[in-house]
Amino acid sequence: MSVCGIIFSNIHDHNIPELTRYRTIASVPFGCRYRFIDFTLSNMVNSNIYNINVITHYNYQSLMDHIGSGKDWDLARRSGGIKILPPYITAYANNINALYRTRLEALKSVNYSISRIKDEYVIMSDCDVICNVDFNDIIENHIKTGADMTLAVKSVDLTPESAKINVLFDSDEDGRVRDILAYPTQFTGRADIGLNIVVMRTDYLKQIVLDAIAHNYTSLTSDILARNMKNRNFRVYKYDGYFACISSFADYYAHSMELLSDAAARDALFGVKDRPIYTKVRNSVPAFYAASSSVRNSMIADGCEIEGSVENSILFRGVKIGKNATVKNSIIMQDSIIGDGAFLNHVITDKNAVVRDNRMLAGADVQPFYIQKGQMI
């Protein structure tokens, strides 16, 4: 049994525009030293999937720099490995909206590459659901049930606010999909939401893409799933482990802080036996803590220099905290500099940001103060 992986790198860029202005959602930093795509790539590699295609849209320079040859995930291979698939666009398209907006449109845009896949099965995944899952369990369940398509779901309690950004699945006791409710505006209660992880035979995927091109279908949910669930065997795989769905800037901050406050969540991501999360290796020196420094309940990456106070915060690689500076409840991304005597509370700085001496910056847990990439304030 051979499996090919397909990753959508841009589908939900609009959810966190602050962090995707200069990058795809796949390359958004998370958890001290990782990027969103690291979790999906690691899940695939840990499940012995070594032929992976990443479909891009735009702003993917950061993603290409992060992935490189794929060697950090053992994907620098003569056969298989990782491929970046840029979008296909004709000379007649003259604006960004001519590129894809949905997963099905993304698949249509790389139809030539899909037609060349020789693996028996394909697993597709977004990047904005952070979890550590064994894809082999989903694939084995798919084969065992004889499904045409298997979709990973998670049972959660929903409010109208959270329901309207999710696709809800109703299934029978055998896991066969009976109904689909896409982005309901008035739903309250417990339901199975889709995690945007899908398994199917490669031949069926090729058929779906060709049908979508012929009939101008644009949505995998409404044009494929909803139209065919009565005459096709669509199944759900009920995932019961930890996951973090990043659907807004506030979600990004909350789930980042969860890594500090919830040891179970941290262990569910980074402490699973035989399923490590890989990322790009930078080979930095260890973090330096001056005699004047104070660090409590924080995640500190290598290469940091700390001379001030850090509490309940996440510092990415190469961050410098000046003398008498205080950083609380904040996320400081790679190579940022916090000046002497500065005070930060509920702040997110993007890469290479500079906070000058004696600045006082504060946000709130529901709306942290944001400093964009390369900005001096």
**Residue 336 φ then ψ, to 5°:** -85, 155
Calpha distance 191→219 (Å, rounded): 22
Identify the bridge partners of residue 241 per DSSP, sorted by sequence position. Answer: none
Asked if the model's pLDDT at residue 13 lies above 80, the reply is: yes
Give the list of residues 6+ apart from residue 27 with CB closer than 8 angstroms, or none.
9, 35, 36, 37, 60, 62, 63, 66
pLDDT tens digits, one per residue of 296-331? 999 999 999 999 999 999 999 999 999 999 999 999
| Dihedral (CA of 68, 71, 77, 82) sign | negative
pLDDT of residue 89: 58
- Mean pLDDT, rounded, of the chain: 93
Calpha distance 194→158 (Å, rounded): 13
Asked if the model's pLDDT at residue 164 lies above 60, the reply is: yes
- The letter for the amino acid at 125 is S
Residue predicted with more confidence, 265 or 98: 265
pLDDT tens digits, one per residue of 193-238? 999 999 999 999 999 999 999 999 999 999 999 999 999 999 999 9
Asked if the model's pLDDT at residue 335 lies above 60, the reply is: yes
340 pLDDT band (50/70/90 cuts)?
Answer: very high
Domains of the chain: 3-270 (3.90.550.10), 288-371 (2.160.10.10)
- The letter for the amino acid at 202 is T
Asked if the model's pLDDT at residue 258 lies above 80, the reply is: yes
State what percent of residues in the chain have pLDDT above 90. 84
Angle at CA of residue 25, ends 112 and 253, nearest 5°: 160
Asked if the model's pLDDT at residue 178 lies above 50, the reply is: yes
pLDDT tens digits, one per residue of 2-12? 999 999 998 88
Calpha distance 4→2 (Å, rounded): 7
Average pLDDT over residues 359-371: 95
